[in-house]
Amino acid sequence: MIRLPALTRSALVTLCACAILAVPSLADDGMTVAAMKLADGTDVGSVRFTQTAQGVVVTVAVKGLPAGRHGLHIHQTGACAPDFMAAGEHFNPGATEHGFHAPNGYHAGDLPNLDVAADGTATAEFFVPDLTIHGPVSEALPHALHDADGAAIMIHAATDDYKTMASSGGRQACGVIIPKS
């Protein structure tokens, strides 16, 4: 093991930090934002998607929802009209089982439950590995949201038990994920 003097180690750490900050971001064109709406068209907030080298950071900021835990999923089709069923099933390009407890892996669109406070608001931020907003797909990012029919983000009426596909109940709020070009 090579021992460096303290001053040299400090300079090396500073140099590495500056190099990391100088690397162009994969999200230079900005974040992708899905406007969340109820079935009647009421705006309830947004979900932002920020690309990283290893996946996507998802940031949720919503209001006007019933208090409690709600399933949250990316759906396979970028449509919320004429009704939320237009969004199709969960985003599942790997043809895996539903839920984080699935023995052979979960859907790429399975996300953690969203906790809505008593005042109807919720904020959350979490990381989704293996996902790219724009593509192209790669070994590091094998699942792309941006395809011919896009994708949607859905807040469900009930809690996802991370096992049963139907556990999270009806579709409560929907947003189309439109990648910036």
Q: 158: number of CA atoms within 13 Å, CB side?
A: 10
| CA–CA gap between residue 38 and residue 84 (Å, rounded) | 9
- CA 158 from chain center: how many Å? 19
Please say whether the beta carbons of 66 and 77 come within 8 A. Answer: no
Question: What structural domains does the chain harbor?
Answer: 25-177 (2.60.40.200)
Question: Which are the contacts of 126, defined by CB distance < 8 A and separation ≥ 6?
Answer: 57, 58, 111, 112
- Name the band, by pLDDT with cuts 50, 70 and 90, for residue 181: low
Q: What is the pTM of this model?
A: 0.80
User: For 1-31, what is each residue's pLDDT tens digit?
Assistant: 344 444 433 333 333 333 333 333 333 444 7
Burial of 164 (0-12, 13-18, 19+ CB in 10 A): exposed
User: For 108-121, what is each residue's pLDDT tens digit?
Assistant: 888 999 999 999 99
Please give the radius of gyration of the chain, using alpha carbons only, rounded to the nearest integer.
19
